[in-house]
């Protein structure tokens, strides 16, 4: 390695600011686009992680502001639901395990649904109890009455069924929630994705690849 003398070292140090400036100028600064509209994502403790995190990032990817709402504006515990492939004792349903956390920035009672373009209802165990929240029912009914895009997966059917927004519709959900769909007055079909008017549903997060292109198209159309 060539040893630099004092004069050469000072020359390099003097040129350093210009070199750093040139390097900075070559870096593209990516700025977030203006929000295309707000999409509501209602959750609670034991919301399923994959069900929730994929839409949280995918919808925002298209420039929408995804607003996470819960019974209170606080941090919530997500879970992972999976049938164990190597359990010593066979499981007929999914096993629940602790997962990531997610922050709800607003409580249901403070949500003004008229400010939102659409709603996405994820699954997990959370829908079993947050469907008793009167404000969440008020919010969900707004999207049904206003015919705004409603997307849901898995146990999310428990919320839209309780809010009576799927009556007369054809929907899909995880097979063990078929009764929730039918009790809500909907026709259940076992297929990956079902779109019926402004309501689109899928069985589980495994169906997100075919689900999200039409759902995103619905959201973009609704904000125009």
Q: Which residues are catalytic?
A: 154
| Residues facing residue 81 across a β-bridge | 96
d(CA 193, CA 99): 26
Cβ neighbours for 52, distance < 8 A, ≥ 6 positions apart: 41, 43, 78, 102, 122, 124
For residue 171, how many other CB atoms are within 10 A of its CB?
26
| Beta strand spans in the chain (E) | 38-42, 47-48, 65-70, 75-82, 95-103, 106-107, 116-121, 150-153, 170-171, 187-188, 193-196, 199-202
CA–CA distances in Å: residue 195 to residues 46, 198, 222: 27, 7, 15
Gyration radius from the chain CA atoms: 23
Residue 125 CA to residue 199 CA, distance in Å, equals: 22
């Amino acid at each position: 390695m060539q040893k630099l003398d004092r004069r050469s070292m000072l020359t390099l140090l003097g040129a350093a600011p210009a070199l750093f400036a040139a390097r900075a100028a070559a870096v593209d600064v990516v700025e977030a686009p203006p929000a295309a509209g707000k999409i509501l994502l209602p959750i609670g403790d034991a919301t399923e992680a994959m069900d929730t995190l994929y839409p949280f990032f995918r919808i925002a990817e298209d420039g929408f502001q995804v607003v996470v709402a819960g019974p209170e504006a606080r941090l919530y515990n997500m879970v992972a639901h999976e049938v164990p492939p190597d359990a010593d004792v066979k499981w007929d349903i999914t096993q629940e395990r602790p997962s990531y956390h997610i922050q709800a920035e607003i409580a249901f009672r403070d949500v003004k649904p008229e400010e939102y373009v659409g709603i996405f209802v994820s699954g997990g165990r959370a829908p079993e109890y947050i469907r008793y929240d009167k404000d969440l029912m008020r919010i969900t009914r707004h999207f049904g009455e206003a015919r705004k895009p409603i997307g849901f997966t898995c146990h999310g059917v428990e919320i839209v069924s309780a809010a009576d927004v799927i009556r007369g519709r054809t929907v899909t959900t995880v097979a063990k929630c078929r009764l929730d769909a039918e009790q809500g007055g909907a026709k259940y079909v076992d297929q990956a994705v079902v779109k019926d008017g402004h309501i689109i549903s899928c069985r589980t997060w495994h169906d997100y690849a075919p689900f999200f292109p039409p759902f995103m198209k619905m959201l973009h159309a609704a904000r125009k």
